[in-house]
Chains A and B, each alone.
Chain A
Amino acid sequence: MRLLGAFEKDQLPWETPGVDRRDFMKVVTAAAVAVGIPFTVAEQMAEAAVQRKLKPSVIWLHFQECTGCTESLLRTSHPALSTLILDLVSLDYHETLLAAAGHQAEKCLEETMKANEGKYILVIEGAIPVKDDGIYCKIGGRTALELANTVAAKAGAIIAIGSCASWGGIPSADPNPTGATGAPDVLKGKTVVTIPGCPANPYNLLGVVLQYATFGTLPALDELGRPKFAYGRTIHEHCPRRAHFDAGRFVQVFGDAGHREGWCLYKTGCKGPATHANCSVQHFGEVVDAWPIGIGHPCFGCTEKALAFRAPLHSTVDIERPTPPDTYPPIAAAQGRISPLATGVAGALLGAGVVAGAMASRKMETGAPASGKPSGPEKEG
């Protein structure tokens, strides 16, 4: 309540029609938690967003791509994330969503760069062609190569969204006529957060943006610039069909009985064991099972440069980091304990028996007949 009083004068993001503060907090928290950021930190993020009236400026550049990443971002359906992310950040330049066109648009880009120098977030969507000085992709008369370098030079943070921007994606597939290259290879020496995926999961972008907006820092990244919170594990490690893999129940052909039963897709070419992504736990657009394996198709390794658009769709991969269950839970626990005392006593009793037997038989041999009188049968014999 105290906080709310402080914001009465200015119009705040959640004061747009249909969004109240409570909803806003919920959305930011949920979005942050969804990508694996601790709940307490997520609360801080939400509070910070409320208090500082954060609206980091975002410049979104499109190069060689299909706009699928933008499309999937816009289709994040519940909560109305598209609305919120556009309110949370100030999306000052986005070629798909920009109302302006032509010179007006170019001006918008330049003004934004000037106004937020060193602070704005640059999001790159699409590969950058470098062959023949990058002439294969031009916007407003400038090549993608030139644009990327110019805008990145003054950016506070650079995010490459989608596989194309991360490592080249489908435009870089053999024979790669345009020399399509990922942003990290073009912007050498700069930290580029890559969020590969075809399309990239919008929540992963949101998590990075939220963290940067709140703390001014970037999440922990792996050697390919991928946030570890999303790309630290393979699909296989958290696959909902993992139990079938461990039990050896594999789909052999599409449409077979095992396929209908939802068994493991490894043998039909699933790249899950070699693909680093969080699709298995963070489905697309919050639609349950909205990801390849969820709908019965093997993972095709869209986030991996070595796999997507290179490895044949239905060839199997080697199991990277095999993590079989080291023990299967027993159906029932082992029973029967053998106590050292009992075995010792048994041995002692047995030994005593043998000694007693030996002693008794010696006595039989050496002892004189108890009676001098011979018995009947003896006489008979």
Chain B
Amino acid sequence: MSAHAHLHAPVGGPLWTRPFRILVGVFAFCALFFVYRFAAGLGASTALNDGYPWGIWIAFDVVVGTALGCGGYAVALLVYILNRGTYHPLVRPALLTSALGYTMAAVAIHFDVGRPWLLLRVPIFPHHWNLDSALLEVALCVMTYIAVLWLEISPAFMEKWREGPPGFLRRTSEKAAPIVDKALPWLIALGLLLPTMHQSSLGTVMLLTGTKLHPLWSTPLLPLLFLVSCLGMGFAVVVFESALSSGVLGRQRETPMLASLAGIMVPVLAVFSVIRFVDLGLRGKLGLLGTFDLYTGMFLIETLLFLAPAFMLLSPKARNDAGNLFRAAMVMILGGAVYRLDAYIVAFRPGSRFAYFPSFAEMMVSLGVVALEVILYVVIVKHFPILSAPGAEAAVRPARA
């Protein structure tokens, strides 16, 4: 584990750059709507109603947000289960993205539920648990996983603090680091188990809506589809985030490593699409694609967004093209996001008298949560050893050989 010190390094540099100031400005504006949500209540600030009791705060911030936070899961799966050590430099940034993504999802849930102070009851009132509830599974898993993620990433913080000025942080880090080091294999195991559970449960949640979910989406394989799509999105996010941080933060490019990672995305995307179509065929619902309504349209858009990156990344040459790789990752992320938004909102039909489109305040809150996530990411990577240090890959290579 000591190798981490050589693998990762803080980005450093001035924090208050122009893009950062704009980001903080956006967040400050959106924060007004955080206040508005709690001052005025859900009815005034959202477009939610009896038919659509949840909107983008769940569908986007939680369902899409945690899928984007699956970078840690996807990379950890590769590195620790498939023992592909080559990708180790990607673990910490992926874990940080995951930790932030899941934390922001948890923040968003507090906006969405009517009485957020009662969320505390979920972990501390086990005698009130409904063990048949998919949402309970999601809640418990996500809560635990957030803690696991921050513990998994905690060595990065402790590395910095141990070398810092004497004080509380240094003392605590020195004491805690060996414990975390020992616990890390267990944490990693948990970190692999938990997303498998709750990402599939996010699919179960919508499966429970029965006929309210359009038959193109409603399938017993929904949990599997959510799991596969979160893997695809997780890989795509790692590619996207690494490429973007190398561009924006002036880091060395990791294109070859990303290219080989992208090679794994292709079968994942293909598997997702094959499962979908085979399932539709077996359930006899393929004919629905001939109806040419909103749902057919959305389904085809999703399929295109899933298959396009697979074709874009088919040849090794295309995978090594940084621009192409970045675009494919974006399309993949968009595809996964559209799939999840469709399953949670568009294809959900609570009845003809209900309509939902997120209100301005809802969008501002979501935007604010995203802005906050990016702000925290920038602050952390600039001060803590998260991103790979120059020449780090070379240090790992012999270990793998």
Real binding pair: yes
Q: Which residues of A contact B (CB under 8 A)?
A: 330, 332-339, 341-343, 345-346, 349, 357, 360-367, 369-371, 373, 375-378, 380-381
B47/A337 in contact, CB under 8 A? yes
Q: Which residues of B contact A (CB under 8 A)?
A: 47, 49-52, 86, 243-244, 246-247, 250-257, 260, 321-323, 325-327, 330, 353-360, 362-363, 367, 390-394, 396-397
Partner of B354, one of A334, A343, A378: A334
User: Which residues of A are found within 8 Å of B325, using beta-carbon distances?
Assistant: 364
Alpha-carbon separation in the docked complex, A365 to B353 (Å): 48
B323/A380 in contact, CB under 8 A? no
User: Which residues of A are found within 8 Å of B353, using beta-carbon distances?
Assistant: 330, 332-335
Alpha-carbon separation in the docked complex, A366 to B326 (Å): 13
Given A364-B322, A365-B322, A377-B257, does the pair A341, B396 have CB atoms closer than 8 Å?
no
B326/A364 in contact, CB under 8 A? yes
B367/A349 in contact, CB under 8 A? yes
Given A339-B357, A339-B360, A342-B359, does the pair A370, B252 have CB atoms closer than 8 Å?
yes
Partner of A361, one of B250, B330, B355, B391: B330
Chain B minimum-CB-distance residue to A333:
B353
Partner of A336, one of B47, B244, B255: B47
User: Which residues of B are found within 8 Å of A343, using beta-carbon distances?
Assistant: 357
Given A335-B353, A336-B354, A342-B360, does the pair A364, B51 have CB atoms closer than 8 Å?
no
User: Which residues of A are found within 8 Å of B394, using beta-carbon distances?
Assistant: 376
Chain B minimum-CB-distance residue to A357:
B330
* Further 20 A-B residue pairs, CB within 8 A, beyond A334-B355, A371-B253: A332-B50, A332-B353, A333-B353, A334-B354, A335-B50, A335-B51, A336-B357, A337-B355, A339-B359, A341-B360, A357-B330, A361-B327, A363-B247, A367-B247, A370-B246, A370-B251, A371-B390, A375-B255, A375-B393, A376-B391
Q: List 7 A-B contacts (CB under 8 A).
A: A335-B51, A336-B52, A345-B360, A361-B330, A375-B253, A376-B397, A380-B256
Alpha-carbon separation in the docked complex, A337 to B244 (Å): 38
User: Which residues of A are found within 8 Å of B257, using beta-carbon distances?
Assistant: 375, 377
Alpha-carbon separation in the docked complex, A341 to B394 (Å): 53
Chain A minimum-CB-distance residue to B362:
A342
A377/B260 in contact, CB under 8 A? yes
Alpha-carbon separation in the docked complex, A361 to B52 (Å): 36
Alpha-carbon separation in the docked complex, A251 to B7 (Å): 86
A373/B390 in contact, CB under 8 A? yes
Alpha-carbon separation in the docked complex, A334 to B50 (Å): 10
A345/B355 in contact, CB under 8 A? no
Which residue, of A338, A341, A357, A381, has the highest number of chain B Cβ atoms within 10 A?
A: A357
CB distance from B316 to the nearest CB of A (A): 9
User: Which residues of B are found within 8 Å of A378, using beta-carbon distances?
Assistant: 255-256
Partner of B51, one of A336, A342, A370, A377: A336
Alpha-carbon separation in the docked complex, A132 to B74 (Å): 109
A349/B244 in contact, CB under 8 A? no
Given A361-B327, A364-B243, does the pair A342, B357 have CB atoms closer than 8 Å?
yes
CB distance from A336 to the nearest CB of B (A): 3
Alpha-carbon separation in the docked complex, A378 to B393 (Å): 10
User: Which residues of B are found within 8 Å of A334, using beta-carbon distances?
Assistant: 353-355
CB distance from B43 to the nearest CB of A (A): 11
User: Which residues of B are found within 8 Å of A380, using beta-carbon distances?
Assistant: 256, 397
Partner of B86, one of A341, A345, A370, A377: A377
User: Which residues of A are found within 8 Å of B47, using beta-carbon distances?
Assistant: 336-339, 342
User: Which residues of B are found within 8 Å of A369, using beta-carbon distances?
Assistant: 252-253
Given A334-B353, A343-B357, A375-B253, does the pair A365, B397 have CB atoms closer than 8 Å?
no
User: Which residues of A are found within 8 Å of B358, using beta-carbon distances?
Assistant: 342, 346
A364/B357 in contact, CB under 8 A? no
B253/A370 in contact, CB under 8 A? yes
Alpha-carbon separation in the docked complex, A342 to B356 (Å): 11
Alpha-carbon separation in the docked complex, A252 to B358 (Å): 51
User: Which residues of B are found within 8 Å of A360, using beta-carbon distances?
Assistant: 244, 247, 326
Alpha-carbon separation in the docked complex, A262 to B247 (Å): 80
Chain A minimum-CB-distance residue to B401:
A380
User: Which residues of A are found within 8 Å of B52, using beta-carbon distances?
Assistant: 336
Chain B minimum-CB-distance residue to A366:
B323
Q: Which 8 A-B pairs have the closest CB atoms?
A: A376-B393, A365-B323, A336-B355, A335-B49, A338-B357, A377-B256, A334-B353, A371-B252
Alpha-carbon separation in the docked complex, A361 to B247 (Å): 10
B363/A346 in contact, CB under 8 A? yes
Alpha-carbon separation in the docked complex, A349 to B396 (Å): 41
User: Which residues of A are found within 8 Å of B367, using beta-carbon distances?
Assistant: 349
User: Which residues of A are found within 8 Å of B357, using beta-carbon distances?
Assistant: 336, 338-339, 342-343, 346
Alpha-carbon separation in the docked complex, A363 to B330 (Å): 14
A373/B355 in contact, CB under 8 A? no
Partner of B323, one of A330, A362, A376: A362
Given A335-B49, A336-B49, does the pair A373, B391 have CB atoms closer than 8 Å?
yes
User: Which residues of B are found within 8 Å of A367, using beta-carbon distances?
Assistant: 247
Alpha-carbon separation in the docked complex, A346 to B363 (Å): 7
A335/B355 in contact, CB under 8 A? yes
User: Which residues of A are found within 8 Å of B360, using beta-carbon distances?
Assistant: 339, 341-342, 345
Alpha-carbon separation in the docked complex, A159 to B292 (Å): 69
B393/A364 in contact, CB under 8 A? no
Chain A minimum-CB-distance residue to B49:
A335
Alpha-carbon separation in the docked complex, A370 to B326 (Å): 16
Alpha-carbon separation in the docked complex, A337 to B353 (Å): 11
Alpha-carbon separation in the docked complex, A277 to B66 (Å): 71
Alpha-carbon separation in the docked complex, A366 to B324 (Å): 12
Which residue, of A330, A342, A366, has the highest number of chain B Cβ atoms within 10 A?
A: A342
CB distance from B37 to the nearest CB of A (A): 15
Alpha-carbon separation in the docked complex, A338 to B356 (Å): 7
Alpha-carbon separation in the docked complex, A372 to B321 (Å): 17
User: Which residues of A are found within 8 Å of B260, using beta-carbon distances?
Assistant: 377
CB distance from A157 to the nearest CB of B (A): 57
Chain B minimum-CB-distance residue to A335:
B49
Alpha-carbon separation in the docked complex, A335 to B357 (Å): 11
B356/A376 in contact, CB under 8 A? no
User: Which residues of A are found within 8 Å of B330, using beta-carbon distances?
Assistant: 357, 361
User: Which residues of A are found within 8 Å of B243, using beta-carbon distances?
Assistant: 364
User: Which residues of A are found within 8 Å of B355, using beta-carbon distances?
Assistant: 334-338
